[in-house]
């Protein structure tokens, strides 16, 4: 079959609809997945995007034609899909979503049994090969379709990570971004004593208010204004498929995913001393420092859930966090959940006499650039040039290039999902941060 094979990414399948991804391709992907996993039953959920229902019908038909049953989970979050696969023992799962991408995009996040993700080097490559070679499997016994509502069960599961009795009656502004958080959060929130001020809880795949990508500061403006307007204690924003979350303090400052990682680690280590915590290579060094200070074992990983989940299982880590707002929990089948992460942070705040911004200030003495993206002709050539320029620093190639000095460090890596090279810098002072960021970008963009 002739199609744009670039829709197969490192962690998922994603492209524009119908330009790169359409019903015919969705059917073949579903059929190839069933042939690859050889399952009995696959759970399928979808987000609120305009094309999600249509893609679901095609994907499910391809799975059924291979003789495999489909469990239709309906409109859910990506972390809800992982929960269903783990909780009910399904042989695999597919979430139809393009996460934070613009409205014209859609795609598939795929996992096998126990919510272990497929990746470009583990499963997605085989599915692509089958589609390219026009391999279609037709079983004499077509699979069945059944429906399951997991809303209440998932809310109860997430709430089991905290002691509800400890939660203080905070006022919290919650920005769902017209994404799946608007549907999946209320069953959990109604069990808590907090006052929720909802923003954009209406499901709308056209994203009429702002893109559902809270890592970008321009998408937090409405949340910041509402926090000030209602005098909230803090706020939280979720992305389109609600598996990522970002906190915002009462002064309107975004709390980075790495600082939320530190908060979750702090709370979990207080309950479970000596456990192992994973953090990706982009996280502030404040994260491993906090983990070590609290008696835990920090382990650095590559960026991306397809890499983190297997390492978590290998080390039986209780938790893993990423700068991008993904948070993984051992007791959640090592899968990520924005809702669980929010609840654990909420519990930490409830047990602490200090507001969010003061908690962050206490664990975050460093200055960071944030992720700076550049389009380049050859990412490898630029990385090699930067490596040569900073040859006197301590270097590693775990994920792109990381160079460490006593008073600053940086990571430069190619994007796994876009034609970009990404730079992150952290330093002991603002002056050093600005100086080194400018020095590195001069090489990258020359």
Residues belonging to the active site: 99
Q: How far, rounded to the nearest angstrom, does the alpha carbon of residue 302 sit from its chain's CA centroid? A: 14
Phi–psi pair at 67, nearest 5 degrees: 90, 15
Helix (H) or strand (E) holding 306: helix 305-315
Tokens linked to 215? 């890592």
Cβ atoms of 69 and 222 closer than 8 Å = no
CA distance 116 to 121: 13
For residue 114, give the nearest of 139, 147, 91, 137 by alpha carbon: 91
Bridging pattern class, strands 319-321 and 327-329: antiparallel
CA distance 351 to 170: 12
For residue 282, give the nearest of 426, 441, 442, 436 by alpha carbon: 426
CA distance 61 to 51: 16
Cβ atoms of 283 and 371 closer than 8 Å = no
In order of 66, 156, 165, 194, the CA distances from 168 in angstroms are 51, 19, 8, 7
In order of 62, 97, 113, 150, 194, the CA distances from 46 in angstroms are 16, 6, 18, 13, 29
Burial 65-94 (b: 16+ CB within 10 A, else e): bbbbbbbbbebbbbbbbbbbbbeeebbbbb
Sequence-distant (6+) residues with CB within 8 A of 226 are 173, 175, 197, 199, 232, 235
CA distance 219 to 393: 36
CA distance 150 to 312: 26
């Amino acid at each position: 079959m002739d199609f744009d094979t670039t829709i197969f990414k490192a962690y998922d399948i994603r492209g524009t609809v119908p330009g790169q991804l359409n019903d015919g391709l969705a059917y073949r992907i579903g059929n190839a997945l069933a042939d690859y996993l050889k399952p009995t039953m696959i759970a399928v959920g979808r987000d609120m995007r305009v094309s999600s229902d249509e893609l679901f019908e095609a994907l499910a038909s391809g799975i059924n034609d291979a003789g495999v049953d489909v469990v239709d989970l309906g409109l859910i979050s990506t972390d809800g899909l992982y929960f269903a696969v783990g909780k009910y023992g399904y042989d695999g799962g597919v979430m139809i979503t393009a996460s934070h991408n613009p409205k014209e995009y859609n795609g598939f996040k795929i996992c096998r049994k126990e919510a272990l993700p497929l990746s470009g080097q583990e499963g997605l490559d085989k599915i692509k090969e089958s589609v390219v070679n026009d391999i279609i499997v037709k079983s004499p016994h077509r699979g069945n379709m059944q429906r399951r509502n997991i809303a209440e069960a998932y809310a109860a599961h997430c709430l089991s990570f905290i002691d509800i009795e400890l939660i203080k009656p905070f006022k919290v502004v919650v920005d769902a971004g017209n994404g799946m958080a608007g549907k999946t959060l209320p069953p959990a929130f109604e069990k808590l004593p907090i006052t929720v001020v909802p923003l954009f809880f209406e499901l709308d795949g056209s994203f009429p208010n702002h893109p559902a990508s809270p890592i970008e500061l321009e998408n937090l403006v409405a949340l910041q204004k509402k926090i000030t307007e209602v005098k909230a204690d803090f706020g939280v924003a979720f992305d389109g498929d609600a598996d990522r979350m970002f906190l915002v303090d009462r002064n309107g400052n975004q709390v980075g995913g790495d600082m939320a990682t530190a908060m979750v680690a702090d709370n979990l280590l207080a309950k479970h001393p000596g456990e192992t915590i994973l953090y990706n290579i982009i996280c502030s060094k404040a994260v491993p420092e906090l983990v070590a200070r609290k008696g835990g074992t920090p382990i650095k990983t590559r960026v991306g859930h397809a890499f983190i989940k297997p390492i978590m299982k290998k080390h039986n880590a209780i938790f893993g966090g990423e700068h991008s707002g993904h948070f993984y929990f051992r007791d959640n089948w090592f899968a990520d959940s924005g809702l669980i992460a929010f609840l654990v942070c909420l519990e930490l705040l409830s047990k602490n006499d200090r507001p969010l911004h003061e908690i962050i200030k206490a664990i975050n003495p460093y200055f960071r650039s944030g992720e700076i993206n550049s389009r380049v002709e050859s990412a490898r050539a630029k990385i090699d040039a930067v490596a040569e320029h900073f040859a006197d620093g301590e270097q590693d190639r775990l994920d792109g290039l990381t160079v460490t000095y006593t008073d600053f460090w940086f990571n430069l890596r190619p994007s796994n999902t876009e034609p970009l090279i990404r730079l992150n810098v952290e330093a002991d002072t603002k002056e050093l941060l600005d100086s080194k960021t400018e020095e590195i970008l001069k090489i990258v963009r020359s």
